[in-house]
Structure 1
Amino acid sequence: MKLLLIEDEERIAHFVLRGLMAEGHQVSWEHNGRAGFERALGEAFDVIILDLMLPGMEGRDVCRELRAAGIKTKILMLTAMETTADLVKGFGAGADDYMTKPFAFEELNARLLALGRRSDVAIATNILESGGLRFDRDALVVTFDGTRLDLTSLEYALLEFLMKEKGKVVSRARILQNVWGTVEDPLTNVVDVYIRRLRTHLAAFGAEKMIVTVRGRGYRLQELESEPGLISR
């Protein structure tokens, strides 16, 4: 994969660069947030590895401005902070995944590979539909009653999985396996965070109840009609 590392700590950067290049990745490095932002604007990458605390331009601002500029490249954010508030702020800026320092290189590489696989989320040629919700997987476009939803790559992947399993209860473990490519939750509530984000998108159309919580079992995508035993929250 072609990767961009934006990291100001040279020790960490050299560690990551050596490991990723040994795995066969093509890696570019910028140690300043502003320089990294300009590089990401002008060059195509598969994944951007973005530190949170950077000189020149803070990592969340880099992420937010890239998304505002229409850059859809997947972003893995690195930070020494690990509170739920920090997690939500990072995802709110448009990050696709999140790792706290210190981290094992093997986990970093696995996360990057999982993000890279999602770059081909539009391989399938068919259309997924549920009520007013329509997912064109060729164009990677999601609309509700004709109005487009602007999603991150992880949101696309999660919604695609829920729509493919429409009407079925899917556990958090199955979601993690199919969307994050892992059987363990690296962040205790990452699935719940992304479910909330999808519901927020759907709430603009009064359709947040399309994703329901089945207590003790997981989640289910359904038409807007209520069904017994399903609790939306």
Structure 2
Amino acid sequence: MRLLVVEDHVDLLKSMIDILSDEFEIDSATDGEEGLFLALQNIYDAIILDVMLPGMDGFDIVQRIRKEEIDTPVLFLTAKDSLEDRVKGLDFGGDDYLVKPFYASELKARIRALLRRSGSFTTKQTICYRGIELYGKDKDVMVDGHPIKLTAKQYELLEYLIHNKGTILTKEQIYDRVWGFDSDTTIAIVEVFIHHLRKKLEPFGYHTDIQTVRGVGYRLTD
């Protein structure tokens, strides 16, 4: 799962990355403009957003992404604990509030709660799509009650498609999410893995659910 953390306090940002990186993939930004750019360009499971940021504050960012119909759960971080600020953040499209300073355990618990409410995370770390079940803890996959063997990258690709079913994902988004910009492979690997994944699902008839959007990318039918 992938999170975006936007925080201008560099030491706190590094600390949060250390806390969360054992459980999540993390992208980060230290100012509002960069944070907005990342939020608009990528698909995240949740966004942790400082309120007071240089250039553009957290309230402005969440309003912009909601106008673009991006419904990613947003957890606001703030040094302010006034009722007015909490209400403002929630009214603008935030989903939860965490006041600084906070404990690492509470930060993780708040994020897990957001992900459960959004359907991106369950207490068993199991996600389902039609007759397909993915078991996050052991990376096992069952299709119509039958176990199938996927490589780690095939599993991540299928998981990403299921989390974003009904959404057109560009090849660039898939490559960035599953392989990362620092990968030694090229973006052509996406097409190869989509082909292999379809082959694994073909005996069960689910291969046609992965649609090719010509010139753009792929979509798992909703």
TM-score (norm 2): 0.53
Matched, 1:118 2:123: no
1:225 alignment partner in structure 2: none
1:141-181 deviations in whole A, cap 9, x for unaligned?
Answer: xxxxxxxxxxxxxxxxxxxxxxxxxxxxxxxxxxxxxxxxx
1:24-35 pair list within 5 angstroms = 24-35=23-34
Residue 94 of structure 1: SS of its match in structure 2? coil
1:166-217 deviations in whole A, cap 9, x for unaligned?
Answer: xxxxxxxxxxxxxxxxxxxxxxxxxxxxxxxxxxxxxxxxxxxxxxxxxxxx
CA distance in 2, matches of 1:116, 1:6: 18
CA distance in 2, matches of 1:12, 1:94: 24
2:11 alignment partner in structure 1: 11
Residue 49 of structure 1: SS of its match in structure 2? strand
Unaligned runs of 5+ in 1: 126-138, 140-233
1:25-84 deviations in whole A, cap 9, x for unaligned?
Answer: 100111010111010001000000000000111110001111111110000000000111
Give how far 1:124 is off: 10
CA distance in 2, matches of 1:4, 1:90: 18
1:70-85 pair list within 5 angstroms = 70-85=69-84
1:93 alignment partner in structure 2: 92
CA distance in 2, matches of 1:87, 1:47: 18
CA distance in 2, matches of 1:115, 1:59: 18
- Which residue identity does 1:10 align to in structure 2? V
CA distance in 2, matches of 1:28, 1:119: 20
CA distance in 2, matches of 1:80, 1:59: 13
Residue 77 of structure 1: SS of its match in structure 2? strand
2:48 alignment partner in structure 1: 49
Give how far 1:8 is off: 0.5
Matched, 1:39 2:41: no
1:88-167 pair list within 5 angstroms = 88-120=87-119
1:97-137 deviations in whole A, cap 9, x for unaligned?
Answer: 00000000100001101111122289799xxxxxxxxxxxx
TM-score (norm 1): 0.51
CA distance in 2, matches of 1:93, 1:63: 7
Please, what is the CA RMSD of the aligned residues?
2.0
2:155 alignment partner in structure 1: none
1:64 alignment partner in structure 2: 63
CA distance in 2, matches of 1:123, 1:101: 36
Q: How many residues align?
A: 125
- Which residue identity does 1:20 align to in structure 2? L
CA distance in 2, matches of 1:59, 1:51: 6
CA distance in 2, matches of 1:93, 1:118: 18
Unaligned runs of 5+ in 2: 121-126, 131-164, 166-222
